[in-house]
Chain A
């Protein structure tokens, strides 16, 4: 086990007057998967988006506390938010490939950021990394929109991987997918775990149990319990956690 590569210190996020994340302290370890669970509206997405400054685009959002990536506060004055997002990638709930070819979807990020790379190589590597290569290698120059939902989501993962980030944030990445596509994404996360720090928000308890090393349970903006997934799922310290996991939530 390694030290957290990404962590939040006393983090609070407000939308106007209402507080969606409340004084949270949490660390995400490198080369491991952390699941974030909790009932709808408890602040999971808000927390996740605070981790790579995606909340910057929402008016009236206010952040207090710190998000530390490799010991630097990503909200620090000298921080370039675009640089933060290059290092900390994101996969969204609904697959959102660009209306371009599969090929161009992959190289777009590295290109605009001025990376030096061999495009063919990068496309192949990223698609392999997202377990999509075999399915699309003969139609790299077709529109990404012609792919199935599950394939589109893996393309979005490939697109994130192409930036060679260290952290990948996933907000309910399977919620718009069928069971088979969900399974393939879960297997993919299992593979990616070797190379990345992954934070995944999910409503699916089995999924959290299957893919994650650690689990954080949120309720109403508070971090209620955080620990090894095994422990959280078999023997949680907090009764609220237990109620939620066993589906007895009121």
Chain B
């Protein structure tokens, strides 16, 4: 090695090390910040009231700090979106794997990636100006801001990821297994639903977990589409508010730093962090399980 290339090599090593350190520092600071501000919040509001209270009005008098309406809003979007994106993703992956020629595949895969690359604010706009009007023709009573259109665009956003991960999962199922099934007189629907999907089960679960994390954290689209009305409801035609949308609302408003209103942002952020963290842990547990189970 020449001295120059050696120096470059060393330099590169330290650069990488620095990047790793920065990542660590950022993560730790986020956790410290969230903990600090949250503890300030919890010195005024009991944990139980926050976690189980059914009213969320921190910006209005009388103030109320029950986070359940925001959790309800978030999970409405999440379940709605996954409920649509998972079946759609299974269909897309099945088509790509079992029916599409290599040529068709080479068009669809990049198209999916484009879908994944669209800025989320565009999806929010799309929901407001396109999805909601269509929904209105079917459900005239729908509100301008509503959970349904939010869930639909989030579904479109996570679809590429689900489809692509499930597709990888399907590809990992050995051809021999499919042939074994076809050799017993199965048709392609039976092979896909009873052999390929179960054999790719862990991968599909991992895809769903990742998609849930993504949907929970989704911000701009749901802020624009689903509104800012924290409430506990099961009606997707109404306006709701998600945890992320609340954070946007407060941080883009003129709430004074240091007050309890301001701390709510951190405490909601901390809750989001805990939920996504748990999803990732679950995802890792699922993925580390031995590949195939007996029943």
Contacts and interface: CB of A to CB of B under 8 A. Distances in A.
Interface of A: 52, 54, 57, 59, 82-83, 85-86, 89-90, 92, 94, 96-101, 104, 108-109, 112-113, 141-143, 145, 156, 159-160, 163
Given A112-B190, A142-B294, A83 B185 contact: yes
B83 interface: no
B180 A156 contact: yes
Contact of A98 (B180, B185, B291): B180
B177 A98 contact: yes
Contacts of B182: 54, 57, 82, 85
Contacts of A94: 176
Interface string B178-210: 111111111100100011001100000000000
Interface size class of B (residues with CB under 8 A): 20 to 34
B293 interface: yes
Given A96-B179, A98-B177, A108-B194, A89 B184 contact: yes
B185 A163 contact: yes
B38 to A, nearest CB: 45
Contact of A109 (B101, B185, B295): B185
B180 A143 contact: no
B198 to A, nearest CB: 7
B138 interface: no
B258 interface: no
B176 A98 contact: no
Task: Report whether over half of chain A's contact residues are helix, strand or loop; otherwise say mixed.
Answer: mixed
B195 A98 contact: yes
A108 B181 CA distance: 9
B118 interface: no
Contacts of A90: 179, 183
Contact of A159 (B184, B195, B294): B184
Contacts, number: 80
Nearest to B184: A109
B174 interface: yes
A141 B184 contact: no
A141 B294 contact: yes
A9 B13 CA distance: 69
Contact of A99 (B179, B187, B292): B292
Contacts of B181: 98, 108
A113 B200 CA distance: 23
B180 A85 contact: no
A54 B179 contact: yes
B294 A92 contact: no
A139 B174 CA distance: 25
Contacts of A112: 184-186, 190, 194
Given A92-B180, A99-B199, A85 B294 contact: no
Contacts of B195: 98
27 contacts: A57-B179, A59-B101, A82-B182, A82-B185, A82-B186, A82-B187, A90-B179, A92-B180, A94-B176, A96-B177, A96-B179, A97-B180, A99-B177, A99-B198, A99-B293, A100-B198, A100-B295, A104-B295, A108-B184, A112-B186, A112-B190, A112-B194, A113-B185, A113-B186, A141-B294, A143-B293, A145-B292
A94 B174 CA distance: 11
Contacts of B183: 52, 54, 85, 89-90, 92, 160
A160 B180 CA distance: 9
A86 B179 contact: no
Nearest to A49: B179
A109 B293 contact: no
A97 B177 CA distance: 7
Nearest to A85: B185
A147 to B, nearest CB: 12
